[in-house]
Amino acid sequence: MSSLVQMGIHPTYSLLASGEPVKRWLRERTRCKRPRWDIHPIEAAQRVRRIKFRQQGWPMTTVSASRPPFRRVAVMSAVLLAVSAGIAGCAGGGSDGQTVLRVQFEQGETSSAAAQAFAEGFEAANPNVEIKLESVSSEAKTTTNSTVLTSGNPPDVGLLPSNGATFGALAAKGAILDLADVWKAADLDKRYAESVNQANLYNGKHYSLITDSCLYSIVYYNKALFEKAGLTAPADHRITSPDQLYQMAAGLRKIGVQPLAFAGKSGSAQPTWMIDALLPTAATPEQMTNYLQSWQADASVTARYTDDPFNKTLGALADYAKNGVYQEGFLGTDKTATESAFATGSAGMALGGHWTAGTLRDDGAPFDFGWMLLPPVDSTRTAQLTGCYIGTMVIPAGAQNQELAKKYLEHMVSNEAQRDAVVKAAHGLPAVTGLPDSAFDETDPIVKEMLEDIRKNGTQSGWTSTVPGSLGQSFSSPLVLSMYAGETTPDAIGAQVQAQLDKVRGR
């Protein structure tokens, strides 16, 4: 079994058949070459024809990819099982006396592409180092992987979301390293946006590194339908007031199309996406920072969820529903249906993320589209793009190569690695600022506009993408949907969230 795991082979497949590609792959393995991947064989065998960003639940990225016939995939796994006993002695350290650095990455095509590019760049600059990539599922990342990180044989660089349930406990007991050295060496106080640095502080220290980012809670609109309805989209991408949004909704309804396609079915993340967009425009910067950090047990609570900023944010969302901003039947509509409604022209607006632009083009949307931001709660405030900036890369206290692991993290946030791994290999958005325009030659024009907007107006880390799900998305989304259904009020929701905050802080 151990030899199979070291080879990256899932141990549950049985022998079916063989083929020359499999034999060739095995010959390479039996020469004792350490595998780049430790992943499920089906994922290892995937052949990606095109990458397509998809919104799934809270802001994150998945892709569509073609797979080879299942029989061939099963064959690859099964033949390896048959020869595993004969290659058990091949496990061990790096070839030619190299230092092996074990680095975790999250399963998925885009994250795999980025992980491979990060590793190749570091190996090229450090020929005496061999990177061994170890995959972690999205579920394990937030649950059982903490046990791996605190085991007697942890990876050198691990995955642990900074808003996860176990992050605080591991940081408090010194099970993950304070990354102050990395912050200083990589100049992250300047190269990360201020909102990014603040959102990922834990008790005044940085324990996790952010390697990429995303933008969400963005209103896309169909330019042809807006023109037909006699509507003018704001030139600066900012809806100035709720009244202007209501006029857009009414104008679209007059020409027989639905206004904002909104996923209001149970389980949707979009109800709290909108909190993320509006709360920074209702709170002062100091209040917003506290909302993002007060879940940490040692942080002071100076902004309560029963206070005006949170209450007015919920009130604004309730008014959206009352004034017909959302499509008919939105409480029973899921994400797939809203995407379809917008793509087919039956809705004039839709809520999405930066990846939505690429998805629409890949799907051949037969119209031009633009983007806008929801109106601020306080009309004197300027709305900003909402970002997801979750620190995930950590160094376990038991890591064998801690200093080399720090150098690897510094590499991950270098301009070169951010360009090659995040922007080009994974088609994502960098975590740091300051990349040259040439890094985004292949980026969608709409996304380029968003990046330029960030340069001018900054960005804000989303509340639900920063606080634990037990306080934010998973806890609060059902409450917002209940408000839309007329079953509760903003005041009642604020009291419930405040009570939940007390529970989260006391765990």
Spatial separation of the C-alpha atoms in residues 104 and 111, rounded to whole Å:
11
- Average pLDDT of span 232-253: 97
Q: Which residue has the higher pLDDT, 51 or 19?
A: 19
Q: How far apart are CA 192 and CA 189, in angstroms?
A: 6
Mean pLDDT along residues 26-38: 37
Query: Are 467 and 163 spatial neighbours (Cβ–Cβ below 8 Å)?
Result: yes
Which residues are registered as beta bridge partners of 326?
A: 260
**pLDDT for residue 93:** 58
* Amino acid (1-letter code) at residue 271: P
DSSP labels, 341-376: HHHTTSEEEEEEETHHHHHHHHTT-SS-EEEEBPPP
Beta strands in 150-211 (DSSP E): 158-159
- What is the number of other CB atoms lying within 10 angstroms of the CB of residue 66? 9
Our CA angle for 238, 433, 129, nearest 5°, is 145
| C-alpha separations of 451 from 304, 414, 439, 440 in Å | 32, 18, 12, 10
Mean pLDDT calculated for residue range 487-500? 98
Euclidean distance between CA atoms 469 and 476, whole angstroms: 9
Residue 325 confidence class, pLDDT cut points 50, 70, 90: very high
Residues 6+ away with beta carbon under 8 Å from 246: 323, 324, 325
Could you tell me if 499 and 292 are in contact, meaning their C-beta atoms sit under 8 angstroms apart? no
pTM: 0.80
Q: Write down the pLDDT at residue 114.
A: 95
Q: How big is the CA angle at 185 (ends 184 and 188), to the nearest 5 degrees?
A: 55
The span from the CA of 448 to the CA of 451, in Å, is: 5
Average pLDDT over the chain, rounded to an integer: 84
- CA atoms 244, 326, 390, 108: torsion sign: negative
CA Rg value for the chain: 24
pLDDT beyond 90 at 240: yes
Phi then psi for residue 433, to 5 deg, are -95, 170
Check: CB of residue 30 under 8 Å from CB of residue 90: yes
Q: What is the DSSP letter of 426?
A: S
What is the per-residue pLDDT across 428-474, written as a single tens digit (0 to 9) for each? 999 999 999 999 999 999 999 999 999 999 999 999 999 999 999 99
- b/e string for 24-33 if b means 16 or more Cβ within 10 A? ebbeebeeee
Q: Over pLDDT 70: what percentage of the chain?
A: 81
- How far apart are alpha carbons 379 and 377 in whole angstroms? 6
pLDDT at 165: 80
Model confidence pLDDT, tens digit, residues 284-307:
999 999 999 999 988 999 999 999
Sign of the alpha-carbon dihedral angle for 284, 286, 289, 295: negative
- β-sheet bridge partners, residue 158: 394
- Cα separation, 458 vs 445, in Å, equals 19
Quote the CA–CA distance of 154 and 36 in Å, as a whole number.
18
Residues of the chain above pLDDT 90, percent: 73
C-alpha–C-alpha distance, residues 127 and 57, integer Å: 40
Q: What number is the average pLDDT over the span 211-237? A: 97
In this predicted structure, the answer to whether residue 42 has a pLDDT above a threshold of 60 is: no
Task: Answer whether residue 4 shows pLDDT above 90.
Answer: no
